[in-house]
């Protein structure tokens, strides 16, 4: 019998080495589990082999299951015949040799081995909850027996990756090899020490004991962040089964709980989001051979809230970054804000003090343009006005190396107009970070008409290298993210005119799954920022729908948290929003002046009024060729606006309702409310043809 195409057996003296080779990350794709079992059986039948090592070729051990197989009709082997079960029953010792990642099915296979060793850089975990399921290969039964029920709960319910040194302390690993040790040689040497050790230490033979109260405590601790989701709670039930049932019964219970989840809407949405994040990195019209340019000397212009957050993003990922501001006072204030942000993370326990100092040391405040002249990329993050940004770009063009890329953090402005003040419009593009820039995962890369593909590719790579998800947008007012969100922002205030209060709208959206309601988010960002955008749009469009209630609050100096009052009021030193009777009175007064009849709203109507308005605008963006695909919009909403991940994204959610139903409702509101609800031609076309949003064919990107 020969090796399978993806798994092979090699011999090193008396040790059999089973090697998985399924690029790029050795996922458990077709043939991998069968290949492991085949090689295992051959090794057990070979009397010259006394012990085995299971390892992966390339950059990882086994990074997990092939997610494309979930939710399909792919048949799973019966319980007891899966690779982890077969390894568990092996009469000869097996050592899992881990580098890169052992995640999901990878860690489950490692726990099916008798021993586990790893290099220091390896990470292990059971992250299935992040795609709406639970570990279905014995992970919920073996991990509690190996590391204890509390550790298993923490890992499985959060889905976090655990570094090898911590995994050793938790009892998941038996050894972490010294830095620089060859993994294969080290694992073989370890295996030789276990050849004659009997009985073999099978994880399934251990007991998992726990105080029953830890399960209810975990349920309470996740109640807010896990609302509307079933997977985290099924994970808890499965770990609980490990502590109350014999192993075989626990495995069957795990399978029942897994089957409840795998085809549910929650899992489908989370799988979609997983693949969407990978799809947006691919530009369909990128010419073959175009590669991003490597960079090592980034600079940020503007030390305000956004500029400081962008500088932190570079520093957090190991880049020395220069930070410049128009005034020394502004620079000092910016550095103090950065230090305070890091100090808050230290206080919360999410950052070590020595790491804070290392990151701070990478941020270099500089006095002027001459101090950044040798940088290879610069991100401008000054005030969002063209008359402020243009002089900055003209000066950058004058002092920067001719090969340097000039990027703007603008959230809405015409980047082609901005590029016109430079002699290098091909090297100008947008890198729109979301606030707070050091936290939010989205980087909206804006491609103006004259930007080269190399410039765009470099901007996309820049985002990935500092931990962002980069998605592309065309050069249109508000780009893709903010333009698609703009009708939502208008509609939420119009709802107030018709009888809602901010707290009712916020509750409806939080119940839907948002971490914060839109009015609370507005107070956090600053109501003056939105007012500036409304002024610009009103000047450009005489038919622009004004929002007198929002404008009234800004006129009163109610800018949000920074002034202690906005849509809500805030106590000193406290960011908790409190409903404000003064706001209710303003709403009532302005609505009466407008002659708008007040009525009551259901949460469902609030939700659809806000989100359908954005679905309609996003369709316009697609039909104008300012976005490549519906998935780009979905990823931007997931990571730019906190759209609940377990709902997939704006278009994915709308697809679950149905294009025809969305269109009919928008058409009805068009008759009721007028032109702002006019259905986009693309939406009408999709509804009439019965085509889903996912299968929409946008206009060519321009």
Residue 179 maps to a domain: yes
The number of residues making up the chain comes to 702
For 405, list phi and psi in degrees, rounded to 5.
Answer: -95, 135
Q: Which of 108, 266, 277, 617 is catalytic?
A: 108
Does one domain contain both 435 and 546? Answer: no
Angle subtended at Cα 512 by Cα 509 and Cα 514, rounded to the nearest 5 degrees: 60
State whether residue 125 is helix, strand or coil.
strand
What residues have CB less than 8 Å from 391, skipping those under 6 apart?
A: none
Does one domain contain both 335 and 431? Answer: yes
Residue 304 maps to a domain: yes
Question: Residue 436: is the preceding peptide bond cis (ω within 30°)?
Answer: yes
Which helix (H) or strand (E) is 274 found in, with range? helix 265-279
Q: Identify the domain boundary among 238, 263, 288.
A: 263
Cα dihedral 281, 287, 289, 291 sign:
negative
CATH number for the domain that contains residue 303: 3.40.50.720
Residue 353 maps to a domain: yes
Q: Are 668 and 635 in contact (CB under 8 A)?
A: no
Does one domain contain both 467 and 556? Answer: no
Question: In 3D, which of 375, 370, 429, 364 has the Cα closest to residue 395?
Answer: 370
Does one domain contain both 192 and 317? Answer: no
C-alpha–C-alpha distance, residues 675 and 222, integer Å: 43
Q: Identify the domain boundary among 443, 476, 509.
A: 476
Three-state secondary structure of 111-123: HHCCEEEECCCCE
Q: Are 696 and 686 in contact (CB under 8 A)?
A: yes
Three-state secondary structure of 401-456: CCCCEEEECCCCCCHHHHHCCCCCHHHEEEEEECCCCCCCCEEEEEECCCCCHHHH
Complete edge-to-edge strand list for the sheet that includes strand 51-56: 7-12, 15-20, 51-56, 94-98, 115-118, 175-176
Cα dihedral 365, 366, 368, 373 sign:
negative
Does one domain contain both 460 and 508? Answer: no
State whether residue 293 is helix, strand or coil.
coil
Tokens of residue 115, six digits? 């021993």
C-alpha–C-alpha distance, residues 440 and 525, integer Å: 13
Q: Residue 11 has what DSSP assignment? A: E
CATH number for the domain that contains residue 582: 1.10.1040.50
Enumerate residue ranges in the chain where pLDDT < 70.
Answer: 1-3, 71-74
Q: Which of 38, 128, 254, 617 is catalytic?
A: 128
Does one domain contain both 471 and 515? Answer: no
State whether residue 288 is helix, strand or coil.
coil
Does one domain contain both 350 and 391? Answer: yes
C-alpha–C-alpha distance, residues 389 and 383, integer Å: 7
CATH number for the domain that contains residue 74: 3.90.226.10
Does one domain contain both 519 and 385? Answer: no
DSSP 546-583: --HHHHHHHHTT--BGGGTBSSSB--TT----B--HHH
C-alpha–C-alpha distance, residues 684 and 668, integer Å: 13
Distance of CA 312 to CAs 165, 298, 377, 467, 662, Å?
27, 12, 15, 12, 41
Residue 672 maps to a domain: no
pLDDT of residue 2: 56
Does one domain contain both 533 and 463? Answer: no
Q: Identify the domain boundary among 550, 582, 600.
A: 600
Residue 126 maps to a domain: yes
Q: Among residues of the chain, what percentage have pLDDT more than 70?
A: 99
For 16, list phi and psi in degrees, rounded to 5.
Answer: -90, 130
Angle subtended at Cα 328 by Cα 327 and Cα 332, rounded to the nearest 5 degrees: 120
DSSP 323-380: EE-SSHHHHHHHHHHHHHHHHHHHHHTSS-HHHHHHHHHHEEEESSGGGGTT-SEEEE
Q: Residue 198 has what DSSP assignment? A: -
Question: In 3D, which of 665, 657, 667, 659 has the Cα closest to residue 688?
Answer: 659
Residue 612 maps to a domain: no
Q: Would you call 128 a catalytic residue per the annotation? A: yes
Which helix (H) or strand (E) is 210 found in, with range? none
Does one domain contain both 459 and 545? Answer: no
Residue 670 maps to a domain: no
Tracing tokens 């048949």 back to the chain, one arrives at 75
Does one domain contain both 511 and 385? Answer: no
Structural domain count, the chain: 3
Residue 406: which domain range?
Answer: 298-476
């Amino acid at each position: 019998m020969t090796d399978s195409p993806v798994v092979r057996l090699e011999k090193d003296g008396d040790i059999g080495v089973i090697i998985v080779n399924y690029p790029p990350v050795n996922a458990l794709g077709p043939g991998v589990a069968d290949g492991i079992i085949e090689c295992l059986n051959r090794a057990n039948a070979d009397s010259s082999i006394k012990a085995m090592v299971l390892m992966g070729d390339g950059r990882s051990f086994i990074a997990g299951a092939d997610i494309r197989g979930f939710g399909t009709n792919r048949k799973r082997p019966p319980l007891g015949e899966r690779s982890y079960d077969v390894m568990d029953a092996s009469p000869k010792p097996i050592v899992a040799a881990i580098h890169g990642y052992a995640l999901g099915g990878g860690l489950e296979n490692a726990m099916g081995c008798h021993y586990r060793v790893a290099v220091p850089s390896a990470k292990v975990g059971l992250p299935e909850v992040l795609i709406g399921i639970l570990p279905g290969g014995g992970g919920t039964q073996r991990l509690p027996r190996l590391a204890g029920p509390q550790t298993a709960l923490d890992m499985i319910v959060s889905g976090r990756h655990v570094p090898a040194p911590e995994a050793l302390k938790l009892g998941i690993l038996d050894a972490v090899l010294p830095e620089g040790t060859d993994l294969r040689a080290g694992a073989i040497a370890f295996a030789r020490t276990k050849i004659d050790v009997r009985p073999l230490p099978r994880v399934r033979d251990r007991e998992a004991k726990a105080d029953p109260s830890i399960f209810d405590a975990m349920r309470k601790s996740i109640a807010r962040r896990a609302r509307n989701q079933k997977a985290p709670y099924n994970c808890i039930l499965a770990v609980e089964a490990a502590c109350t049932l014999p192993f075989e019964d626990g495995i069957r219970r795990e399978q029942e709980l897994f089957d409840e989840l795998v085809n549910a809407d929650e899992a489908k949405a989370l799988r979609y989001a997983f693949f969407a994040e990978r799809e947006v990195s691919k530009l369909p019209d990128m010419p073959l051979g175009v590669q991003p340019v490597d960079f090592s000397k980034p600079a940020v212009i503007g030390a305000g809230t956004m500029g400081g957050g962008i500088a932190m993003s570079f520093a957090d990922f190991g880049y020395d970054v220069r930070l410049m501001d128009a005034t020394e006072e502004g620079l000092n204030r910016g550095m103090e804000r950065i230090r305070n942000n890091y100090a808050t993370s230290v206080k919360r326990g999410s950052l070590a003090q020595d790491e804070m100092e290392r990151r701070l040391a990478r941020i270099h405040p500089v006095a002027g343009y001459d101090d950044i002249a040798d940088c290879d990329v610069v991100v401008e993050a000054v005030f969002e006005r063209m008359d402020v940004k243009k002089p900055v770009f003209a000066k950058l063009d004058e002092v920067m190396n001719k090969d340097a890329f000039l990027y703007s953090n603008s959230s809405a402005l015409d980047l082609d107009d901005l590029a016109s003040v430079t002699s290098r419009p091909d090297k100008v593009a947008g890198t729109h970070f979301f606030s707070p820039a050091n936290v939010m995962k989205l980087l909206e890369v804006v491609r103006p008409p004259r930007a080269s593909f190399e410039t765009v590719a470099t901007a996309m790579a820049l985002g990935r290298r500092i931990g962002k998800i980069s998605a592309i947008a065309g050069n249109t007012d508000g780009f893709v993210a903010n333009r698609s969100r703009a009708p939502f922002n208008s509609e939420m205030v119009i709802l107030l005119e018709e009888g809602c209060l901010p707290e009712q709208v916020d509750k409806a959206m939080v119940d839907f799954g948002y971490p914060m309601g839109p009015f609370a988010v507005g107070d956090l960002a600053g109501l003056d920022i939105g007012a500036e955008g409304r002024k610009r749009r009103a000047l450009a469009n005489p038919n622009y729908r004004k929002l007198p209630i929002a404008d009234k609050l800004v006129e009163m100096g109610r800018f949000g948290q920074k002034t202690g009052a906005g849509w809500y009021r805030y106590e000193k030193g406290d960011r908790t929003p409190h409903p404000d009777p003064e706001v209710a009175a303003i709403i009532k007064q302005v609505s009466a002046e407008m002659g708008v009849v007040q009525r009551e709203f259901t949460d469902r109507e609030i939700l659809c009024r806000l989100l359908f308005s954005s679905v309609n605008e996003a369709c316009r963006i697609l039909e104008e060729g300012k976005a490549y695909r519906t998935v780009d919009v979905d990823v931007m909403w997931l990571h730019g606006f906190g759209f609940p991940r377990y709902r997939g994204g704006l278009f994915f959610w709308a697809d679950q309702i149905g294009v025809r139903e969305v269109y009919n409702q928008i058409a009805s509101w068009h008759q009721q409310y007028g032109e702002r609800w006019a259905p986009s031609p693309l939406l009408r076309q999709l509804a009439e043809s019965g085509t889903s949003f996912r299968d929409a064919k946008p206009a060519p990107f321009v």
